[in-house]
Structure 1
Amino acid sequence: MVGHARGGISTRRPSGPAMIAGLDAATIIAALVAVALSGLAKGGFAGVGMLATPVLAMVMSPVQAASILLPILALQDLVSITSYRRAVAWPVVWKLVPGAALGILTGYLFAASLPQAFMALALGVISVVFGTRGFVRSSRDTGPGKAGSRVGGIIFGFISGLTSMIAHAGAPPFQMYVLPQKLSKDLFIGTTIIFFAMMNYTKIIPYIVLGQLDLSTLWASALLAPWAVASGLAGLWIVRRVNPKTFEKVIFGLLVAVGLKLIVDGLIGMALF
């Protein structure tokens, strides 16, 4: 999770190039799994990417994990945009962007003091309820979608920007706003890719200001770049072969799974608070 601390790197494990380049097998495995998860997310399985930061944080500090993953996410965004640049619901994006920008700014200004455990717990509960409801309804609801309101876009965009700034965890609020609109599979994927690409590139500036994108972190990200591209392409290949109705159920299922993970994280964090 993002914080104002300049160091933030666990002293138990090597950092920078050594951390990825061969001195720590556990870190290498965690990094490869985390990047693969973010690749699947960029391919269209929005939500599963939220697991990337927690996986990498098992072997290093959450600050270092989030910092290493940001350049990876930005690179994978470029790979995904080339495939879905023409399939974007721009009205949806523009309703979300103002709130997202405000959320990123709030995350930057209050990164060290935000009650992250409480946020994780609340977001997790909402995600599980919404995902379960959507999964059940998707099997029998064939009616048209309903356009999201501008106010709703600002609210969900804000939550998405805030949680994305803290731990690259902005998918659930985005899905809560967009899924009821019942976009086609390609439009949903393209809109997801563009929206999060805009957020990830915006987040680079506050990450640099907070001192989290130093040369050591960037070098570790660069070493993972080939795997990041391959994972992103694999995600695109897989999602194109999934039935749209099945895809919708998978997204709702991922929302529930990620929500449960957030609930656990929140409860653990509150217990240690």
Structure 2
Amino acid sequence: MDTITHLTAWEFTALALAALLVGFSKTAVSGANTVSLAIFAAVLPARASTGVLLPILIAGDVLAVLTYRRHAHWPTLWRLFPAVAAGVVVGAVFLLRADDGVVRTSIGAILLLMAAVTVWRRRTADAEDEPDSVTTRTGRAKARSYGVLGGFTTMVANAGGPVMSMYLLSAGFRKLGFLGTSAFFFLIVNISKVPFSVGLGLIDGPSLVLDAALVAFVVPGALFGKWAVHRINQRVFEQLVIAATVVGAVQLLPH
């Protein structure tokens, strides 16, 4: 963890901008977190970066829940949680065995696949206004597959946001329902990951000191996101979510 305590000014600035983007993504364009993930992984050792980023994400989740708590769709959440729990366990085992290069490549490939599937589905399916009927039709099998992928990717690289974004978009959620549901989902899931991260040595004293310095940057990002989301129409919102997913995924692939 020496790298964490010996950051240059430019490296800390990059991490601060990534923390700002975390706040923005939590209240505006979910999926943009993958860009923050790429920045953290570029500045810090890949495994260590996941431990530093997790408390930053939780801070963003708290702000998102406070902002959109009235818009959560709990039937969707209850449908996802069992599969997500299984994915988190699989991800923890994977982290014990895989090196950083394998982790990055695997996550990037999964995210690109999810983005491609979502674009295809939205071009071939009729748009729906109400999430309830669409979510019912998506079925338990789909919820399980996305849930396991989401749990796996969020455990190994804090990259579950794009997977869940693809699921919620494909289920027909509108902006506020999308943000409210994902806010509660990630607050609960990210808190549940803390014991695993501590046990794996990803969260320790030096990482928490860095978190304390970075968490303040999450707040202005979240406030800007809250302001911006009401000025983005639904179509542009969906395009931004998918674009952020693709950009973040490409950053994780080997160059």
TM-score, scaled relative to structure 2: 0.87
Q: Distance in 2 between matches of 1:183 and 1:132?
A: 15
Q: 1:225 deviation in Å?
A: 1.7
Q: Check if 1:130 corresponds to 2:120.
A: no
Specify every segment of 5 or more residues in structure 1 that has no aligned partner in the other structure, as ranges: 1-8, 269-273
Q: 1:182 deviation in Å?
A: 1.1
Q: Check if 1:237 corresponds to 2:237.
A: no
> More displaced, 228-237 or 214-223?
228-237
Q: Check if 1:119 corresponds to 2:106.
A: yes
Contact 1:134 1:252 in 2 (8 A): no
Which whole-Å deviations, capped at 9, do the CAs of 1:54-113 have from their partners, x for residues lacking one? Answer: 112222201222111111111111111111111001111111111111111111223132
Q: 1:50 deviation in Å?
A: 1.1
Contact 2:128 2:172 in 1 (8 A): no
Cross-structure match for 1:214: 204
Q: SS of the counterpart of 1:86?
A: helix
Alpha carbons of structure 1 residues 128 and 59: separation in structure 2 relative to 1, 3 Å: same
Cross-structure match for 2:62: 78
Q: 1:118 deviation in Å?
A: 4.9
Q: Check if 1:68 corresponds to 2:52.
A: yes
Specify every segment of 5 or more residues in structure 2 that has no aligned partner in the other structure, as ranges: none
Cross-structure match for 1:55: 39
Q: Distance in 2 between matches of 1:151 and 1:225?
A: 37
Cross-structure match for 1:5: none
Which whole-Å deviations, capped at 9, do the CAs of 1:5-40 have from their partners, x for residues lacking one? Answer: xxxx4x6x4x23x53xxxx11211211121122112
Q: Check if 1:159 corresponds to 2:149.
A: yes
Q: Check if 1:101 corresponds to 2:88.
A: no
Which whole-Å deviations, capped at 9, do the CAs of 1:156-195 have from their partners, x for residues lacking one? Answer: 1111111111111112321232212212210011111111
Higher relative contact order (CA 8 A, sep 6+): 2
Q: Distance in 1 between matches of 2:223 and 2:82?
A: 30
Match of 1:199 among 189, 194, 200: 189
Alpha carbons of structure 1 residues 125 and 249: separation in structure 2 relative to 1, 3 Å: closer
Alpha carbons of structure 1 residues 259 and 56: separation in structure 2 relative to 1, 3 Å: closer
Matches within 5 A, 1:12-51: 13=3, 15-16=4-5, 18-19=6-7, 24-51=8-35
Amino acid at match of 1:69: L
Contact 1:72 1:228 in 2 (8 A): yes
Q: SS of the counterpart of 1:69?
A: helix
Cross-structure match for 1:3: none
Equivalenced residues, count: 247
Alpha carbons of structure 1 residues 134 and 242: separation in structure 2 relative to 1, 3 Å: farther
Q: Distance in 2 between matches of 1:184 and 1:123?
A: 24
Alpha carbons of structure 1 residues 129 and 154: separation in structure 2 relative to 1, 3 Å: same
Q: 1:117 deviation in Å?
A: 4.8
Q: 1:121 deviation in Å?
A: 4.7
Q: Distance in 1 between matches of 2:106 and 2:65?
A: 30
TM-score, scaled relative to structure 1: 0.82
Q: 1:134 deviation in Å?
A: 5.5
Q: Check if 1:255 corresponds to 2:233.
A: no
Contact 2:92 2:196 in 1 (8 A): yes
Q: Which has the higher helix share?
A: 2
Amino acid at match of 1:119: S
